[in-house]
Chain A
Amino acid sequence: MRPGSLRLSRLLALAMVSACASGKREPFYVEHPLTRTQQLPVEAPPPIGRAERPLLPRITETTLRNGMLARVVSRPGTGLVSLVYANRRARLGADYLPVFLGDALLAGARRTDGQLVYPVATAGAFPQVRTGSSGTTITLTCTAHFFLEALELLASVVQRPVFDPTWMRPVRSQSQLDLLRMGALYSDWALAMWHSRKSFELDLEGVAGRLSGVDQQALRRAHYEFYAPEDSALLVAGDLSPAPALGAIEQHFSGWAQATADPRQAERSVPRTAAPAVGTAESDSEAPRTRRQIIVTEGDGYPSVSVIQDAPPVPSADDVAFELLSRLLTDDGSSNLLKTLRYEQGHAYYVRAHTITLPERGRYLFIDTSVAEETITSDVANVLRALRRLQSTPVDDRDLAGAKARFMAEIADSLSSGAGVAWYLAQVHLRATPALESIEARLDATTPEDIRRVAQRYLDPERATVGVAGKVSESLAALRELGEVTIP
């Protein structure tokens, strides 16, 4: 050590001592030892027991003479009541009209006594309408002592909408806006149809324009066609007694007449103002998929990636095993994919999976993530590798047990609030999914070999469709090595 540097180090040491003595510390001073609890005992992690099965709701139900179904679940002590009207006829498919009609129901209605209701709200709550590919729901939650008022409001909206032209104006604008905002949904639909080589047309602005031509008369005819008691259900869960609640439902809905018109007549009478979003079987391509396709579209930020695969219909013998398979791929499962992409490589923030169902056009699995352009090729390859692994190797028993526990926890979670219970029962009416009472047994019976079997049956990484939204111009050449790149 040179004498000069010794003097310098002494000076530095002196400066540090004097800084500490005067209480001054460097801006990012870290106290050592870092862990102030090193003396603490280190316990082994406690074991995780088997999850208890969800408590099933006690459902009291009746079918009205007009065919409408009513189900009530009593949840004393909550002070709340949730109502869901569910209609499986008014669903989003080839036609956007049911969505517009759903919005239009909230543009005023007539009460039982003939009085106009506008705006459509009661007891501190505005009803919410949602129309999807399985039907329409109208939901309302209020304090329990307003149950009868809420019931009256729902009955008015469903049976006696007014479609007043003045009140309709903002509703129409809102519907048109919503339509234009449905790009994300329709882009999933488009990718699914691309994957299955089925026809798909998309003209959102054209549909929005044609909605302007749907007048009061047309809406009335559409309401008659799409809203019928025999396809409807009212689901109620909350702080009430089932028998009086069912009596009140009967009083409000049993006078609603069944649709008696010839459906073909209705078909002619309702203007098909919305362009078909999903084509027909006749317009499908007959050429089978031969190789992997990569569809590249514009987007902001890190490119988002969706890998699309077929999914089994619901209900089917494979539906529960496939649900578990999709959990094994995502954040909620013991995802090897997430471990690789996030914790090992630092490439992805999330990996998720979801399924979509298109009316009469099939069901599809989407595995979604978001990665940087520099790594996109290897990341897509990792996703495809994970799919192949599911086909070739039985999953670890512990991973499968975790996926099963998550499945049951989601059900318990859904049934933990009145709104959740009513919504759940609405989904029972709208979708035919596995019966709750049998799920536990079916989960118990599902083995790693079952997961491999459904993976082999429905997954096909070699012919997968990969949707990429974002700037990937520098990576196109590399992506072409993974599959046929199309830029629509």
Chain B
Amino acid sequence: MKERTRRALRKRWIVGAIGLALTAPRTVCAADEAGPRLAASTLSTRLGNGLEVVLSQARQQPIFSVAVRYRVGGRDDPQNLDELAHLVEHLSFRRSEHFVHDGGLRITGLSGVSDNAYTGVDDTTFVSHGPVSALPRVLWLERQRMAFALGSLSSEDIVSERKILENERSTMRADRVGGMFWQFVSAELYPPEHPYAPRPERGCILRCELRHAQWLMQRGYRPDNARLVVVGDFEVAPVLDSVRKLFGSIGNPGVSLPAVADVPARAEHRSITIAAPVPRCRVHLWWHVPGTMRAQRRALDVLGAELRLLLVTDLVDGVGLASDVGVGVVPRASDWLWSVHIALHPGVDPKLVERRALAQVARLRRETLPIEFARESQVTELLEAWEDLDTRAELLASEHFGFEIERAKGEQSRVSAEDVRRLAGQLLAENPALSVYVRRAVDAPRRGSLYEEPR
């Protein structure tokens, strides 16, 4: 996501003379008479063609955020065409049968709208935000993408976007593991036939042809495989009417997406070391979250915050072994992961850090710890996500259908210390499913041939 530009105002208020006693508070900037408009309501519905629609009011500014999420992603890449879903995402920006513009299927230059898209393992999400005056045009464009982009693709587009994709992949190599980190991790977590397992050949997308892109787009970019979320300063009824008119008539093709293979993840504990020219060593630990625990998402979040607090206190603030700690749930359709990432200070032994981290995990399983701080942090995060339009749109696009903020907040607030201890006992086995050390090796090749070391 592009970093938001924060612009500033010039100070125009003249402060009182130095030495003045505290002056009475004064209102110095003429705001709109109504003040901030924060009342909000959310509506979830499903159109006849299966398209899920979520409309959520956010009246604080005359702006909107739109997210359209298609449930097609890296898991749907054929064995011999890695990144096909990503390529199709790129292609969908080029044009439609009825909209040809030299700036692509976008309106950024005309309206102040900013847009982007992400291809994940399960889904592809198109996001845009801008002044609410441009919302009708953005919805119209999303209809173009859903109904009319497929028929406009050409072989020249494939050649051009393959180059762009290669360029993008190059810029994503900032982790200095050559963009290969998830390839290594997924190969350990999943057997080859699992949808999340890495494809056997990296870069084979360069063999992609027009028919391959058409195949995936026809199956993935369709109303019964999508959710449309609109957040912003609008009245729900007219926008819903407009959505019905624009999207309700789009039919689904006779073909369906190939079913996602139901293959269990590897169960046994595994560990690998990746040597790469990274600036600092890292330790990563993963546990699989059993399907039965997914309903306890709020408690999982509190558990994550609690573990992070313990690890920060011990590893960062305490002995100074690590500089950053991240803990959280990675909810994916076929396998939820519980992840811990620790960035080490130079010269610190990763084995020592892993041992200390697992000791804190054991403490969570064993003891009922005070969780007020962790719970409060998660309530704050939830409210912050809801207040920010873009984050709310992404939240509504990814959370279960019919998500309600007040209910989620209530669930979050009711998580007890005993819930957390019990959940830790069920979820966090003594050894994680996978532990990874990323070792600093300045002599390791920078691209393409990174190697794994046996422990």
Contacts and interface: CB of A to CB of B under 8 A. Distances in A.
B320 A40 contact: no
A353 B119 CA distance: 25
Given A45-B140, A48-B133, A80-B387, A30 B214 contact: yes
Contacts of B148: 35, 37
Given A62-B22, A301-B171, A434 B6 contact: no
A410 B4 CA distance: 8
Contact of B380 (A52, A76, A143, A435): A143
Interface in B94-152: 94, 97-99, 102-104, 107-114, 129-134, 136-137, 140-141, 147-148, 150-151
A31 B377 contact: no
B7 A42 contact: no
B161 to A, nearest CB: 7
Contacts of B141: 45
Given A29-B255, A427-B9, A50 B27 contact: no
Given A51-B112, A331-B2, 20 more contacts: A29-B255, A31-B253, A34-B150, A37-B251, A48-B133, A60-B26, A65-B21, A80-B387, A124-B374, A167-B317, A170-B319, A302-B170, A339-B102, A339-B103, A346-B164, A371-B167, A409-B112, A413-B129, A433-B7, A435-B9
Interface stretch (B30-38, B266-274, B291-299, B332-340): B30-38
Contacts of B24: 62
Interface of A: 27-31, 33-37, 40, 42-43, 45-65, 67, 69, 72, 74-80, 118-119, 121, 123-125, 141-143, 146, 167, 169-170, 173-174, 177, 180-181, 230, 242-243, 246, 250, 254, 300-302, 304, 315, 331-335, 338-339, 342-350, 370-372, 398-399, 401-420, 423-425, 427-437
Contact of B110 (A48, A125, A141, A142): A48
B103 A40 contact: no
A29 B216 CA distance: 10
16 contacts: A35-B150, A51-B112, A60-B28, A69-B15, A74-B35, A79-B383, A123-B373, A141-B384, A180-B279, A250-B22, A331-B2, A405-B131, A412-B131, A416-B388, A416-B389, A417-B387
The 3 closest A-B pairs by CB, nearest first: A334-B109, A405-B112, A124-B376
A369 B170 CA distance: 12
**Quick one: which of B19, B109, B160 has the most chain A CB within 10 A?**
B109
B20 A429 contact: no
**Quick one: which of B8, B140, B161, B384 has the most chain A CB within 10 A?**
B8
Contacts of A432: 8, 10-11
A338 B211 contact: no
A78 B38 contact: yes
B287 to A, nearest CB: 24
A31 B380 contact: no
A300 B112 contact: no
Interface stretch (B59-67, B68-76, B349-357, B427-435): B59-67
A34 B149 CA distance: 10
Given A56-B31, A173-B323, A402-B109, A75 B36 contact: yes
B376 A123 contact: yes
A63 B133 contact: no
Contacts of A243: 25
Contact of A142 (B25, B109, B380): B380
B92 interface: no
Interface string B227-252: 00000000000000000000001111
B61 A125 contact: no
A283 to B, nearest CB: 31
A370 B170 contact: yes
Contacts of A435: 9-10, 12
A370 B10 contact: no
B440 interface: no
Nearest to A400: B109
A29 B309 CA distance: 52
A76 B345 CA distance: 43
A50 B136 CA distance: 13
Contacts of A437: 12, 29-30
Contacts of A146: 376
B61 A406 contact: no
A241 B30 CA distance: 17
Contact of B218 (A34, A118, A123, A413): A34
A261 B254 CA distance: 80
Contacts of B98: 42
B380 A125 contact: yes
A417 B150 contact: no
Given A48-B110, A302-B171, A349-B164, A63 B15 contact: yes
Contacts of A302: 166-167, 170-171
Interface string B373-394: 1111111100110011100000
B255 A31 contact: yes
B207 interface: no
B29 A177 contact: no
Interface in B151-190: 151, 159-161, 163-164, 166-168, 170-171, 173, 176
A302 B172 CA distance: 10
Contacts of B37: 55
